Structure 1
Amino acid sequence: MEKRFRTFREFYPYYLAEHANPVCRRLHFVGSTLVLLVLVIALATRRWELLWLLPVLGYGFAWVGHYFFEHNRPATFTYPLFSLMGDWVMFRDMLVGRLRW
């Protein structure tokens, strides 16, 4: 039986263990960067149709990393909110050098 996490603090070490492969982490970083870039472009140009790209970019890169490099099932399916939070905390941790690429 899979463990149920009550807090994000409990969840994040599990999340990082599910993202141990450096290529998977890099793909997450690329996807998150593209999400931010497209969001800024959509807001600046008021081209709201670009917003549909956000989940495609964010999840697309991440899922490629999980299926082809990490060989595991994305945490999104079991822990959607904690997983989304984990994506952005991991992105920040990689950006500031707290986490290896």
Structure 2
Amino acid sequence: MTENKQYNTLSEFWPFYLREHSNKMNRVLHFIGTSCALFFIVSAIYFLNVWYLLAALFSGYFFAWIGHFFLEKNRPATFIYPVKSFISDWRMYFCTITGQLGKELQKAGVK
């Protein structure tokens, strides 16, 4: 994490979050991890088994943290802003599947 600014709202945090995900392969890893997490969440509901929720948590963060530590070479925002990061992960996921991520990245100044 390169900024020391305090983010009080999701609106303030979102551009920072996107800048912390400027590497395309990091975003791909986040997408894979969030897709796996979604699969495990649905499985937990379908099979009424809470252990799938642990798998969802693990898979979501596993892929994301690989992207941050090895590609972005930054510290995941989750460590300082866990709730805002969690919400922003899902927002980035839905922006990706709806084709809106490019516009959001451009507004945040990500090339």
Q: Per the shorter chain, which TM-score range?
A: over 0.9
Unaligned runs of 5+ residues in structure 1 are none
Aligned twin of 1:10 = 12
- Deviation for aligned residue 1:55: 1.4
- Deviation for aligned residue 1:48: 2.3
CA distance, structure 1, for counterparts of residue 53 and residue 8 of structure 2: 31
CA distance, structure 2, for counterparts of residue 83 and residue 49 of structure 1: 23
In the superposition, the TM-score normalised over structure 2's length comes to 0.85
Aligned twin of 2:44 = 42
Amino acid at match of 2:65: W
Aligned: 1:87 with 2:94: no
Aligned: 1:20 with 2:22: yes
Determine which of 76, 79, 82 is the counterpart of 2:78: 76
> Please, what is the CA RMSD of the aligned residues?
1.2
- Deviation for aligned residue 1:47: 2.4
- Stretches (4+) displaced over 3 A: none
3-state DSSP of counterpart to 1:58: helix
> Share of identical aligned residues, percent?
42
Unaligned runs of 5+ residues in structure 2 are 103-111
Aligned twin of 2:56 = 54
In the superposition, the TM-score normalised over structure 1's length comes to 0.93
